[in-house]
């Protein structure tokens, strides 16, 4: 019975694979005969595909524009935005290049001028927001005094930005963000100083392993490969099934005779069967769609799960390799003895021993993400009923699983770091990392009031707000780079470029989005370095006491900051 089921399963899978792949003789026929039947050469065919891709992108932009307005102008705005992006591709590539070079230079010089750059980034972010407040207030006053200015607009988007209400909303939003930023900087300035010192230590670790700075590019390429593979599989799966044909173009008034009885528009037909209709009927048996077999839906679901799992697995692989790299740097007592091929050794060690840990951790995130996708699908289906109770329940469920996924990501990251330090499995590493963090948080609450401030500044500050402060500083640094690159591209497009474009802010916004993602890739290395050094510091503090038998492995600068020393 088992052998028969095994053979049936194998036959089923082989059947699916054969239908998804080309046959050798089909490829030979395509190369020898079918290309000649395609009208035009390969260049014109490629141009046609580019036009189709442009149309799809335009439709997506039209949908986004139509989401904010039901204006008939959405179609024109969509095409104008796509054309502006295509016509300003040189400026966009220049902005991306400036962002890459600027990010690398910024990260390298953090080692020596971290305090200056961080405070300049904070001041730059505050200055940019202050300028946005002034700009919004100035435009609000102008359009408030000229309420009919929007009537001169040539499209919907331009008209929206010529109304005082739009600029009032932007003024309020920019003012709130600026106020929150000022409050955070004022009340957390001491913690920012401590975080700056730890960023300097992180910069030393990154500088000693320069290849780690460019390492995230490889996982990013692998993730793109996974996405491309999943898309290709989805396309192949879409061809699995039976073609469905229907009668189209049937003219019942002028049709006099047909072989088929009860013929009508939309009736199913066989492509190889002659309808037997005269010319006046104009009836054609036309291909409509491919009807999927029952198992194809499950294969699509399996493919989607593979997409999430593959992307999360590669992301976990990147985190583990970086954690192993920086843990090696920290636990090397003499930093000059750090191995040259640290990243390579960390990669080999991770691939050989810890792939199961990464697979299990990424599977947990995948399950949580699938639940969120299912909730989004259910919410989409329930919208037509417009029930406030179901809306409230779905909102609570989506919020809960969003928080759960972010919490699991935090646990996973620290589990990977502990696994890189001790080499234990996922569950043990997650337990040890969480316990280590909790012990340091509890240590703050049992301190007496007299020493609370000093101790909190040394240990409690790290365990309570370390991750938030460093992420906040890195976020402001990314914003400063993005604002600088965007301002440069705006100046080039506005004052240097000779060719006109419809919306001058389109290439600027596009470059800003690309620049933010590029900065995220580079700063991810720094974030992982800081997080790894933080857990290593806590482990070092608990395991060692500074005696000759148990010396601290942290650097002298970090010992000075944290009021520790080796005997």
- pLDDT of 443: 42
- pLDDT of 431: 92
The answer to whether residue 9 scores a pLDDT higher than 90 is no
- Angstrom distance (rounded) from CA 178 to CA 456: 28
- pLDDT of 287: 67
Q: Which H, E and C letters describe 358-400, residue by residue?
A: HHHHHHHHHHHHHHHHHHHHHHHHHCCCCCHHHHHHHHHHHHH
468 compared with 492, residue with greater pLDDT: 492
Q: DSSP state, 487?
A: H
User: Taking the CB of residue 45, how many other CB atoms lie within 10 A of it?
Assistant: 13
Cβ neighbours for 117, distance < 8 A, ≥ 6 positions apart: 106, 109, 110, 477
- pLDDT of 316: 93
pTM over the 0.75 mark: no
Q: DSSP state, 69?
A: -
- Angstrom distance (rounded) from CA 478 to CA 124: 11
Give the CA-trace dihedral at 114, 120, 124, 127, to 10 degrees. Answer: 150
The answer to whether residue 310 scores a pLDDT higher than 90 is yes
The answer to whether residue 15 scores a pLDDT higher than 70 is no
- Residue 208 CA, chain-centre distance (Å), reads 28
Highest mean pLDDT out of 73-77, 258-262, 553-557: 553-557
**Complete edge-to-edge strand list for the sheet that includes strand 268-269:** 268-269, 242-248, 284-291
- pLDDT of 291: 66
The answer to whether residue 358 scores a pLDDT higher than 90 is yes
Task: Delimit the domains of the chain by residue range.
Answer: 47-82, 83-216+441-561, 242-291
Task: Calculate ∠ Cα 73-79-82, nearest 5°.
Answer: 135
Q: Is the dihedral of CA 117, 121, 122, 124 positive or negative?
A: positive
- pLDDT of 300: 86
- pLDDT of 59: 56
Structure tokens at 148: 């009919």
Nearest CA to 432 among 325, 550, 321, 539?
Answer: 539
- Angstrom distance (rounded) from CA 93 to CA 85: 11
Rounded to 5 degrees, φ, ψ at 268 are -65, 145
CB 462 within 8 A of CB 560: no
- List the single range of 115-119, 259-263, 332-336 with lowest mean pLDDT: 259-263
- Angstrom distance (rounded) from CA 332 to CA 302: 44
1 exposure class (CB count in 10 Å sphere: 0-12, 13-18, 19+): exposed
- Angstrom distance (rounded) from CA 297 to CA 290: 13
- Angstrom distance (rounded) from CA 411 to CA 414: 5
261 compared with 116, residue with greater pLDDT: 116
Structure tokens at 80: 């104008």
Cβ neighbours for 150, distance < 8 A, ≥ 6 positions apart: 143, 159, 160, 162, 163
Rg, Å, the chain Cα set: 30
514-550: pLDDT as tens digits:
888 888 877 888 788 888 888 888 888 888 877 888 8
- pLDDT of 155: 65
Highest mean pLDDT out of 38-52, 111-125, 397-411, 494-508: 397-411
Task: Calculate ∠ Cα 203-116-488, nearest 5°.
Answer: 95
Q: DSSP state, 502?
A: S
- pLDDT of 523: 80
| Percent of the chain whose pLDDT exceeds 70 | 69
CB 515 within 8 A of CB 485: yes
CB 314 within 8 A of CB 222: yes
Instruction: Using the structure block, give the residue that is written with the tokens 């005696």.
Output: 547
- List the single range of 28-32, 61-65, 291-295, 437-441 with lowest mean pLDDT: 28-32
CB 503 within 8 A of CB 446: no
- Angstrom distance (rounded) from CA 544 to CA 552: 6
421-472: pLDDT as tens digits:
998 999 999 999 888 888 876 543 333 333 333 333 344 444 444 555 667 6
pLDDT band at 340 (very low <50, low <70, confident <90, very high): confident
Of the chain, the end-to-end C-alpha distance in Å amounts to: 72
Give the CA-trace dihedral at 301, 304, 308, 311, to 10 degrees. Answer: 150
- Angstrom distance (rounded) from CA 516 to CA 524: 12
């Amino acid at each position: 019975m088992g052998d028969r089921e095994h053979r049936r399963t194998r036959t089923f899978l082989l059947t699916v694979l054969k239908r998804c792949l080309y046959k050798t003789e089909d490829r030979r026929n395509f190369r020898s005969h079918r290309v000649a039947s395609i009208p035009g050469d390969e260049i014109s065919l490629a141009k046609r595909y580019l036009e189709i891709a442009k149309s799809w992108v335009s439709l997506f932009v039209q949908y986004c524009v139509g989401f904010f307005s039901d204006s008939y102008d959405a179609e024109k705005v969509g095409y104008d935005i796509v054309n502006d992006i295509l016509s300003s591709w040189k400026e966009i590539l220049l902005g991306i290049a400036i962002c890459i070079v600027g990010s690398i230079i910024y990260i390298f010089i953090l080692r020596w001028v971290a305090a200056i750059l961080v405070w300049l980034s904070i001041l730059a972010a505050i200055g940019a927001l202050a300028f946005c407040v002034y700009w919004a207030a100035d435009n609000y006053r102008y359009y408030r005094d000229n309420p009919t200015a929007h009537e001169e607009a040539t499209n919907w988007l331009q008209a929206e930005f010529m109304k005082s209400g739009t600029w009032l909303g932007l003024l309020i939003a920019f003012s709130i963000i600026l106020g929150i930023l000022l409050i955070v900087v004022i009340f957390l300035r001491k913690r920012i100083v401590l975080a700056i010192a730890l960023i300097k230590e992180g910069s030393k670790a990154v500088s000693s392993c320069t290849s780690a700075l460019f390492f995230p590019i490889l996982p990013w390429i692998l993730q793109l490969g996974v996405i491309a593979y999943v898309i290709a599989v989805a396309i192949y799966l879409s061809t699995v099934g039976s073609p469905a044909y229907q009668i189209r173009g049937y003219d019942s008034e002028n049709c006099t005779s047909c072989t088929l009885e009860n013929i009508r528009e939309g009736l199913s037909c066989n492509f190889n069967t002659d309808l037997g209709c005269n010319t006046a009927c104009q009836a054609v048996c036309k291909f409509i769609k491919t009807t999927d077999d029952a198992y194809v839906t499950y294969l699509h679901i399996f493919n989607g799960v593979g997409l999430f799992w593959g992307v999360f697995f590669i992301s976990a692989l990147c985190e583990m390799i970086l954690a192993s790299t920086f843990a090696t740097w920290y636990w090397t007592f003499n930093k000059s003895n750090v191995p040259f091929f640290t990243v390579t050794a960390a990669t080999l060690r991770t691939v050989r021993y810890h792939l199961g840990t990464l697979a299990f951790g990424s599977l947990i995130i995948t399950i949580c993400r699938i639940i969120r996708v299912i909730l989004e699908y259910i919410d989409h289906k329930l919208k037509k009923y417009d029930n406030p109770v179901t809306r409230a329940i779905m909102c609570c469920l989506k919020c809960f699983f969003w928080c759960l996924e972010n919490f699991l990501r935090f646990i996973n990251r620290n589990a990977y770091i502990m696994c890189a330090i001790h080499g234990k499995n996922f569950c043990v590493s997650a337990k040890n990392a969480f316990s280590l963090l909790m012990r340091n948080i509890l240590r703050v609450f049992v301190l007496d009031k007299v020493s609370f401030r000093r101790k909190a500044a040394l240990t409690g500050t790290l365990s309570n707000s370390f991750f938030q402060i460093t992420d906040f500083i890195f976020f402001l640094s990314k914003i400063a780079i993005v604002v600088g690159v965007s301002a440069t591209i705006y100046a080039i497009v506005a004052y240097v470029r000779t060719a006109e474009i419809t919306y001058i802010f389109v290439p600027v916004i596009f470059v800003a989005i690309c620049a933010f993602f590029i900065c995220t890739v580079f700063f991810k290395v720094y974030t992982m370095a800081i997080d790894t050094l933080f857990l290593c510091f806590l482990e070092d503090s608990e395991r060692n006491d500074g005696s000759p038998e148990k010396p601290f492995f942290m650097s002298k600068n970090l010992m000075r900051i944290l009021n520790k020393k080796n005997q």
